[in-house]
């Protein structure tokens, strides 16, 4: 079944497009020295993290709610509380996502619209004050 073209999920190419975005995001996180701090928060094998982010983004972007079907409500902030996240970690995460967006989302207006939401989501994950 073809994804609904009225949703960001469909506009990004459905499952294949979301998987490409998530794969590229984790490749960047895994290889960019500037992302070292945020990379250290993840397990050595990123495949589980990649799959969870794919499932989350699937529903968040208007596709099948795969994450909720498997894990229940995302409760993202609560799930990230065990990790110390300040502006530096948020910014490293956003840097990787920005590069992945730039490479994987050719539609400029769609990319800009989604970027604002992603920035807000990432900012909401901060759970400690920035060092003085």
What pLDDT, in 10s, does the model give residues 76-102? 889 899 999 999 999 999 999 999 999
**Which residues constitute the domain of residue 53?**
8-124
Reply yes or no on whether the pLDDT at 132 is more than 90.
no
Of all residues in the chain, the percent with pLDDT exceeding 70 is 99
Task: Evaluate whether residue 21 is within a structural domain.
Answer: yes
Task: Evaluate whether residue 2 is within a structural domain.
Answer: no
Task: Evaluate whether residue 131 is within a structural domain.
Answer: no
pTM across the whole model: 0.93
Reply yes or no on whether the pLDDT at 1 is more than 70.
no
Q: Which CATH number belongs to the domain containing residue 102 in this structure?
A: 1.10.490.10
Higher pLDDT among residues 132 and 122, named by residue = 122
Residues 6+ apart with CB under 8 A from 85: 41, 125, 126, 127, 128
CA 2 to each of CA 12, 16, 49, 68: distance values in angstroms, whole numbers, following the listed order: 12, 11, 26, 21
Task: Evaluate whether residue 75 is within a structural domain.
Answer: yes
Q: Read off the pLDDT band of 3 (50, 70, 90).
A: confident
Neighbours of 37 (CB within 10 A): 15
- Does residue 61 contact residue 9 with C-beta atoms inside 8 Å? yes
How many domains in the chain? 1
Reply yes or no on whether the pLDDT at 48 is more than 70.
yes
The overall average pLDDT reported for the chain is 94
Tokens 């500037």 sit at which residue?
A: 34
Per-residue confidence (pLDDT) for residue 4, from 0 to 100: 83
Reply yes or no on whether the pLDDT at 30 is more than 90.
yes
Q: Read off the pLDDT band of 67 (50, 70, 90).
A: very high
């Amino acid at each position: 079944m073809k994804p609904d073209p009225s949703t960001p999920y469909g506009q990004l190419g459905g499952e294949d497009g979301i998987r490409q975005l998530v794969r590229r995001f984790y490749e960047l996180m895994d290889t960019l020295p500037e992302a070292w701090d945020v990379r250290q928060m993840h397990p050595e094998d990123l495949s589980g993290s990649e799959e969870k982010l794919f499932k989350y983004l699937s529903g968040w972007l208007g596709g099948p709610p795969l994450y909720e079907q498997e894990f229940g409500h995302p409760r993202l902030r609560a799930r990230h509380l065990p990790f110390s996240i300040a502006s530096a970690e948020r910014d490293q995460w956003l840097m990787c996502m920005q590069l992945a967006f730039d490479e994987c989302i050719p539609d400029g207006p769609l990319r800009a619209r989604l970027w604002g939401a992603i920035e807000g989501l990432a900012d909401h994950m901060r759970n400690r004050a920035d060092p003085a």
